[in-house]
Each structure stands twice: as structure tokens, then as C-alpha cells.
Structure 1
Amino acid sequence: MNVAKPCPTRKTDCKAVINALKVQGKMRLTTIHNTHNHGLSPQKSQFFRCNREVSEAIKRILDTNNLAGIRMNKSFRSLVVGAGGFQNLPFLEKDCRNYIGKARHLRIGVGDAGALQDYFSRMQYKNPRFFALMDLDDDGRLKNVFWVDPHSRVTYQDFGDMVTFDTTYLTNIYGMPFAPFVGVNHYGQSILFRAGLISSEDTETFTWLFQTWLECMDGIASPAIITDQDRAMKNAISIVFPKGRHRFCLWHILKKVSEKLGSHRVYKSGLKTQLMKCVYDSQTIEEFEKSWE
């Protein structure tokens, strides 16, 4: 009902489904349920992901507005008004944000990329063990960068049994996610193994980053890697490190506890304390399982 936040679809727990299985090169239908629990609206098929498209003309408008500093919600609203309503646009605001985000990540000047290449060349001249690799798109623009200094390569051999990986955004004009690989030394201190700048956070980009990591470390993969609950990271890790032990970051998990349970009275009256004790004070698997129950 809120015209400012239109929802093109809504969940009705519809059981209509068609499943198919590929058998000897042919598709065989295995499950067919034709009955819907809602009315059908073929005219709304434009909102399916496969049908949504941002035209070149709209992209030019979005680029111009972005360079002028116009926020995306206002830019999209102007497109809605010009089209005569949300239902007349073949895309959603999310599609516009995705386009601008990708364009911004790749909008790095040729001079800046050249300066970065010169810096890497100087470092490799001083020490051949310095490793750097730059990934370019089809137009020759910088997409992803990966580099490791010689000290970090030696440190990884001693303390690379566990690595944490996360992407934290830098507040720079490029908006490229900074992707550090971090470990822990024998003093319990965090140490930087290697780092990269990436254009986007999708499976393809993470796969390139992890494969470059393996190339740099002579094919020696860390037995364990800790990340947040990002599906693209999970997919890339399963591709590049199929035998690795992948776990989610405890901080990211516990961060959601207050969001999920904070409104319950029992959470503030003792459940939070019991939960933290279970997580942080359990020394064995059996002790944790008993405390968790």
C-alpha cells in the first residue's frame, strides 16, 4: 500500500512448481503442480529478474545524475515520474543501484592504474619475491588488484594454518572493497598476509582472488579459512579450496543475536549471559553441546 516502497511481488506460500531431471541427455518432468493459490498477472512478468533490463538511455541518465551528486532514490523517483508510474518501468531501483555500483567500482583513471603498475614494478625490482597481479576488464580498465610483500609470504609459511578473510569498504573516490587476508602469530597478534582491491563481491571475483592467492603461495592453501556469511565467498571457497575447512566468523554470528532475540524478555533476564558463557567458556565439544541444550 505504500507507494514510496512498491513491492512487485509478495509471498503467498504458493505450491505451484515444475521440476525436471536431465536423464540421458533429455529433460524429464518429475513434479508438476499447476494449482496456484493466487491470481495470475502476466502483465507483471516484467518484474521477473530475467525480464528486467536497464536500457542504455537510462544508464546515461543514471551516470549523469550520479556524477552530479544526485542520490539514487531521487534519481529513480524522477524516472518513475517520467514513465508515469512504477508499473511502467522495466526495472527496479535495485537494478539501478547495481549498475551504478559496478560502474563506480570500475571508474578508475588510466593514470592511477599506471601509477600503481609503476609502484609494483619498482617493488619487484627491489625484491623479486614481491608478488602483484592486476586484473583488467575488456576495455583495459582496472578491475581487481592483488599484492603480497616478501615478509608476508615468509610469515604465511609459519602462521598460515588459519586465515580470516573479510571485505571492508574504504571511503575513497573509487569505493573499491579492500580485501585483506589476516592471520594470528604466536603472540596472539593479528598479522596481514596479503591484500587486494576488488571491483565487486561476486563469486567470479572471489574465485579470481583465491586462485591468485594459491598461485602466489606456490599452491599451498590454508587448512582453515574464516569468513562472514557471504554466499559468493562460500561458493568461491568451495571451488578453489574444496578440501579446506570453512567456518563463519563468530563476531558476525553473535552480532545478530541481539537483533533476533533482543525483543524477548528472557533474553535480558539471563539468556544472554548463558549464551555468552556457552560460546566463550566451553572448552570441549561435549561441554558446549550440554550448555547449548
Structure 2
Amino acid sequence: MAISKVISSHNHELEPSMSRLMVAHRSLNMDMKRRLEANDIAGIRPAKSIRLLEVQAGEPENLSYLSKDYQKFIERKRRLRLGDGDAEAIRKLFVRMQRNDPEFFYSFDLDDDSRLSNVLWVHPRSRAAYEEFNDVVSFDTAYLVNQYKLSFATIVGVNHHGQSILLGCALISHKDVNTFKWLFMTWLEAMGDVHPNSILTINASMRKAITEVMPNTRHRFCLWNILCNVPEKFKGVVDYDSACLEFKAIIYDSLIIEMFERNWNEFVVKHGLERNEWLSKLYVDREYWVPIYLNHTFWAGMVSTQRSESMHAYFDGYVNSMSTLKQFVEQYEIAMCDKNEKEFYADFKSKNTVVNCISVFKWEQQFQKAFNNSIFKLVQEEIKRMWYCHVIQPTEEGRREADNEPGIERHKIMEKSIINN
């Protein structure tokens, strides 16, 4: 078991007047922290507690923090204040699980008062799966599942059937750079320090931690999450419907980088969005989310954190908002067993079922023999799309152009589609 300690708070000695003006230098010293938390446990309301400290300090200006600093501090402490024996119960549970299987990995992260702040664990089957499927992972922290409001963070990959596989999970008390750095470093320790080729996250909040811990891993933002903001960010545009369609066309239909950048600039000018801060920031970060900048990297079909969200939904049948920490981990193990059964069944079905070819192409039979059924069906979807391609023989002019380039024959290919029923 790995035990680590992250200290995220620092004391700063400042002049009272400056401390109330400069956010970066506001802090609560250790004595104030203990008194504030003791008051909260005793049931003293926040307003009375802060007023008491102001009286003791002589006047409000003598305090080196604002009331909202107190609120943030106490909310964080409430998240970390586990039930009686809950932290010890989960420790004993993990020790027993590791005793039964030495490949089971877990790590506790303690706060500056040596109390449980974050915990990460990785199932032996997840460690084995990562040896084969470490190309791309999706990471998300948007799922709240227990009575302490700890975020359930999942690291999800894709197996050879195209199924989502859980490669590790954690319960974290807050979302900052230090927490994410601890989480990624600890997870890599469990995975033999093998870094994924690429990682997909819901937004840019984890970029600094990923850059420091996994500098050679390609980072991508969730495209779905970005597009969800379009209605709000474009609500003042005159031709709203047209702007939304054009914006998505620029993202999905740009064939080369130069085409995307040209279309983007024309779009911004056309709709008077030169001062739109959201668009400006997106453009600066374009290499992290626009497909044309990312298509050279293997993503296993992932452009959003949908796999992480579907994994979260999978756990809904096992845990709820009132689950204790210990109950959560126990139910997680049951859920993992059920999911493993489904993966084994997919393997069995693929090996014992033959998917018939749908075309006369000889090369389709090669794919049939080389791929499992799930992936072969994806190939067949592409074959079906070929049926709708109308090949137009080259004209005399086209042949003359091709004659000037030895080995090249030009054909015009149009895709048949049904429009307006």
C-alpha cells in the first residue's frame, strides 16, 4: 500500500489591509482553522462564528481572510469529515482485498491533519487489461455518489470489443492541480509507469497536471461538453440558427487545418463575434478539441467523455447518495464482478458465432477472419456506405490531366443521399 501526503495550504504573513485586497495572499492560519472547525462541529452558525473571530481580533480589518474564505474552508472540511470509523473500515477492507489478491492496488492521500483526503484503487483485472489497452483513456470527475459528497473519478479505456473498461477509480475531496497530480502519479504507479498515448477529459482544468505528470500524452477536451455551451454563448447572435449550423460545420467538415482556420475567421467576422471571449479562448486551445488537429492520433472512436458517463451510469444500480465510503467500495466490487462477466460473455460469443459477409468483396473475408465480431460489424457499416457511392467515369479532359501524371487515374465519386424524405 502506498501512503502519501499532500499539503495544499500555506501560511502567509501579510499586512491586514493588503490581505483583504489581494486574493492570492489570503489565508487561514492553523489556529484559526482549528477554531473554525470546532465551532462548526459544535453547531455554531457560520455568521456567528466569523463575528466571534472579528471581535477577538479587535475589528474585521485585522483578520487576514474574508467570510467567503471561511465558507470555502468549512465546506472542504465537511467533505473530509467521514463517519465514525469509516476511514479505518475502508483501510481494513483494502488490506483484506490485497491479502486475497496481491495485485490489488490502493493508495490513501492524507490532508495536513493526517486525515483521509483522497483514495485511489485499481482492480487486478484493470491492471491486466491496461497492459493490452493503454492507447487511450478517458478521465472524468463529474459523478457524486456518496453522503460525503466526494467526487467519484474514473479512468476508462476501450477493449478489443469496443467495450468500455474501468482502468482505475478514486474518490477525491476537491478538484485542484495538486489533487490531480497525486491521482495521475499514483495511478501510473499502479500501471507500472506505462503512460497512455492519449487522454480525454471533460475540459481544460486538468491540463496542467497532465502536462507535468504525462508530458508525452496527447490531451483532448470533450467536444460534446464544448458544444453544449453553444446555445448560451450564441444567444445574442442575430441569425442564431444559421450560426449554430455553420459553427458545427466548421468543426466537423474542415478537411485540412488551413481550411478550418480560414472558415473560423470568416465565421467570427460574419456574425460579429470578434469580442466573444469564449470563442477566443476556444481558438487558442483549438489543438485540444478540433478534430482536424487530432485525427492523426488514435482515439478508439472517442471524441467525448461519454464512455466515462456511461460507466458512471452503470454504477447507479449499486450505489446512491447515501452510500457510506465502505459501502461504496463493497458495492463497487460487486459491480466489477458483473461487468467482468459481460466481458467474458462477449469473448465467448465472438469466438463461437460467425457473422456472415454482406458483399462479394474478397477482402471482406479477410476482415472477417482477422477481427472479432464487434469490430467486423463496424467494417460492414463502412461497406454499406460504399453501396451509396456513385462512381462517375472520367471525362476526356480528366483522362488528359491524368496522362500528365503517370500512375494516376481520376474518378469522380458522389454519395447518394435522401433529402426531404
TM-score, normalised to structure 2, is 0.51
Q: Identity percentage over the alignment?
A: 42
SS at match of 1:105: helix
- What residue is the counterpart of 2:235 in the other structure? 262
Distance 1:183 1:280, change over 3 A: farther
Distance 1:143 1:65, change over 3 A: closer
The 2-side partners of 1:101 and 1:118 are apart by: 27
- 1:202-229 CA distance string (max 9 Å, x none): 2222111111111111110001112233
CA contact (8 A) 1:62 1:96 kept: no
CA RMSD of aligned residues (A): 3.2
Cα displacement (A) at 1:193: 1.2
The 1-side partners of 2:16 and 2:186 are apart by: 46
Q: Give the structure with the larger helix fraction.
A: 2
SS at match of 1:192: strand
The reply on whether 1:101 has 2:112 as its aligned counterpart is no
The 1-side partners of 2:191 and 2:107 are apart by: 13
Cα displacement (A) at 1:241: 0.8
- What residue is the counterpart of 1:272 in the other structure? 244
Q: Which moved more, 1:170-179 or 1:212-221?
A: 170-179
Could you tell me which amino acid in structure 2 is paired with residue 157 of structure 1?
E
SS at match of 2:120: strand
Cα displacement (A) at 1:247: 2.1
Distance 1:258 1:89, change over 3 A: farther
Q: Quick one: which of 190, 194, 199 aligns to 1:220?
A: 194
- 1:49-69 CA distance string (max 9 Å, x none): 355344645864566457749
Q: Which moved more, 1:57-66 or 1:274-283?
A: 57-66
Q: Give the structure with the larger strand fraction.
A: 1
The 2-side partners of 1:252 and 1:269 are apart by: 19
The 1-side partners of 2:26 and 2:113 are apart by: 25
Cα displacement (A) at 1:236: 1.4
Distance 1:280 1:50, change over 3 A: closer
CA contact (8 A) 1:224 1:246 kept: yes
Could you tell me which amino acid in structure 1 is paired with residue 158 of structure 2?
V
The reply on whether 1:205 has 2:179 as its aligned counterpart is yes
The 2-side partners of 1:282 and 1:191 are apart by: 32
Could you tell me which amino acid in structure 1 is paired with residue 251 of structure 2?
V
Could you tell me which amino acid in structure 2 is paired with residue 180 of structure 1?
T
- The structure with the largest alpha-carbon Rg is 2
CA contact (8 A) 1:102 1:199 kept: yes
The 1-side partners of 2:260 and 2:128 are apart by: 36
CA contact (8 A) 1:147 1:194 kept: yes
Distance 1:217 1:43, change over 3 A: closer
- 1:22-50 CA distance string (max 9 Å, x none): xxxxxxxxxxxxxxxxxxxx985232235
TM-score, normalised to structure 1, is 0.70
The 2-side partners of 1:69 and 1:174 are apart by: 20
Could you tell me which amino acid in structure 2 is paired with residue 256 of structure 1?
N
- 1:96-130 CA distance string (max 9 Å, x none): 23211321232124611121122212222332221
The reply on whether 1:165 has 2:136 as its aligned counterpart is no
Distance 1:110 1:83, change over 3 A: closer
The 1-side partners of 2:44 and 2:251 are apart by: 46
- What residue is the counterpart of 2:224 in the other structure? 251
CA contact (8 A) 1:80 1:89 kept: no
Q: Quick one: which of 198, 204, 207 aligns to 1:234?
A: 207
CA contact (8 A) 2:155 2:168 kept: yes
Cα displacement (A) at 1:234: 1.8
The 2-side partners of 1:270 and 1:120 are apart by: 55
- What residue is the counterpart of 1:18 in the other structure? none
Could you tell me which amino acid in structure 1 is paired with residue 241 of structure 2?
S
- What residue is the counterpart of 1:181 in the other structure? 155
Q: Which has the higher contact order (CA 8 A, sep 6+)?
A: 2
Distance 1:224 1:81, change over 3 A: same
The runs of at least 4 aligned residues of structure 1 exceeding 6 Å deviation read 84-88
- What residue is the counterpart of 1:27 in the other structure? none
The 1-side partners of 2:164 and 2:255 are apart by: 23
Residue ranges of structure 1 left out of the alignment (5+ in a row): 1-41
Cα displacement (A) at 1:171: 4.8
SS at match of 1:265: coil
CA contact (8 A) 2:145 2:152 kept: no
- What residue is the counterpart of 1:130 in the other structure? 104
Residue ranges of structure 2 left out of the alignment (5+ in a row): 1-14, 267-421
The 1-side partners of 2:66 and 2:114 are apart by: 30
Equivalent residues, number: 246
Q: Quick one: which of 52, 62, 81 aligns to 2:26?
A: 52
